[in-house]
Amino acid sequence: MKVSHVLTQTLSLLALGATVEGFSRSRNEACGPHKPFRPLPTSSSRDRTCHVRSHGNGTDDSDYILSALHQCNHGGKVVFDADKEYIIGTALNMTFLKNIDLEVLGKILFTNDTDYWQANAFPQGFQNATTFFQLGGEDVNMYGNGILDGNGQVWYDLYAEDDLILRPVLMGIIGLKGGTIGPLKLRYSPQYYHFVANSSDVLFDGIDISGYSKSDNEAKNTDGWDTYRSTNIVIQNSVINNGDDCVSFKPNSTEILVQNLHCNGSHGISVGSLGQYKGEVDIVENVYVYNISMFNASDMARIKVWPGTPSALSADLQGGGGSGSVKNITYDTAFIDNVDYAIEVTQCYGQDNITLCNEFPSNLTISNVLFKNFRGTTSGDYDPYVGTIVCSSPDTCSNIYTSNINVTSPIGTNDFVCDNVDKSLLVSVNCTAT
């Protein structure tokens, strides 16, 4: 994992968030420059406002929050006031919401009671992910540029002692059909910042993510977004300072548009990991990634697939043998600086034994993938190589293209490791033998 510092740039991107007053502007107008795969629904009007009360003494405000949500559900707006800090010490199931706005102007802080959250956070059924809350329903908008703080430091330290603990995700977007999230500031998530599951037609716009460990124990697995069993999702105009994937497309993510992101310290924009669970079929298709700035990272564009037999990456991350497909994926326009690999395609994720991967090729195919218009300089960690495109068998990959890849290492090379792929389609990269 790359160790990096928070960049001081705030970027004007965060000023591009969707109109917050009732979201009178359609979500499709808010998307740009590329439009979503399918039109996003508009919000109905909001006709009343509820302000959330706070104890103001550090005790749990969850009852006040639920009361305001019920009072202003079906056509209202719930306001978290700018001069207040709200404490959440109870797992909140908010999947009943419909036609409602949540305007977060103040700060929402989750308690550091790790025993309670391990026992009561919502299990999501994927890689042991749990969430502090479940935000779902229909036509739900959450914005205001306020702060959600996951109190992550206690979790970073605890995870260093026991990597099997269940660390909650800060933002659980579960079963949301139509909505806009952002602008918001997200800080110190124990694990992923967003887990977007079983959701559709959702726009994330103007999200500011940051939260590094203050001890020697790293903040691990702090992905910016993980999408799972979700479709027609847009993620745009955001700044992400984290220590894992900037965005990751998990199983059965389709029609995903990601654009205008500034990522620092991450593992890149990743398809996968996929094929982790034997007997399950993972599909990721129709993904467009545009205009990404990637700094101090392990990768820019990454496709990671487990081999065709069970293997282990760590005690809490192991698997392999699943099937499925990755297809119709485009990475268009990226600037990189101090990134280990501009492009990494592997079907040997979770396994250092290349012989085993070749003996048990992936059951998951990769096809119709385009990487184009990349520029910048790698970190030099893999000199002379600036990328790797390696499939476990010629039968598992097809139609992988590169174009206009102007990326060099610090020593001036642009070599790629290429294996079991059609090298004639890899334009402007120099495939060399390892």
Residues forming the active site: 267
Look-up of token digits 């956070």: 121
d(Cα 426, Cα 414) in Å, to the nearest integer? 13
| Token pair listed for 62 | 């969850």
What are residue 31's phi and psi, to 5 degrees? -85, 135
Cα atoms in the Cβ-side hemisphere of radius 13 Å centred on 338: 11
Cβ atoms 383, 409 nearer than 8 A:
yes
What is the Cα–Cα distance from 62 to 68, expressed in whole angstroms? 10
CA 258 – CA 249 distance, rounded (Å): 11
Question: What is the distance, to the nearest Å, from the Cα of residue 424 to the centroid of all Cα atoms in its chain?
Answer: 32
- Render 217-250 in DSSP notation, one character per residue: S---S--SEEEESEEEEEEEEEEEE-SS-SEEE-
Which one, of 219, 209, 222, lies nearest residue 158 by Cα?
219
Pairing of strands 122-123, 130-131: antiparallel
Query: Closest by alpha carbon to 201, among 237, 175, 239, 172?
Result: 175
Question: Are 405 and 342 spatial neighbours (Cβ–Cβ below 8 Å)?
Answer: yes
Query: What own/partner pairs with CB < 8 Å and gap ≥ 24 does 153-159 have?
Result: 153/112, 153/188, 153/213, 153/214, 153/215, 154/112, 154/114, 155/114, 155/190, 155/191, 156/190, 156/213, 156/215, 156/217, 156/218, 156/219, 156/220, 157/215, 157/217, 158/114, 159/217, 159/220
Q: What angle do CA 131, 65, 21 make, to 5 degrees?
A: 95
**Cα 220 from Cα 306, distance rounded (Å):** 20
Cα angle, residue 237 at apex, residues 20 and 143 outer, rounded to 5°:
25
For residue 29, is it left (φ>0), alpha (ψ between -120 and 50) or beta? alpha
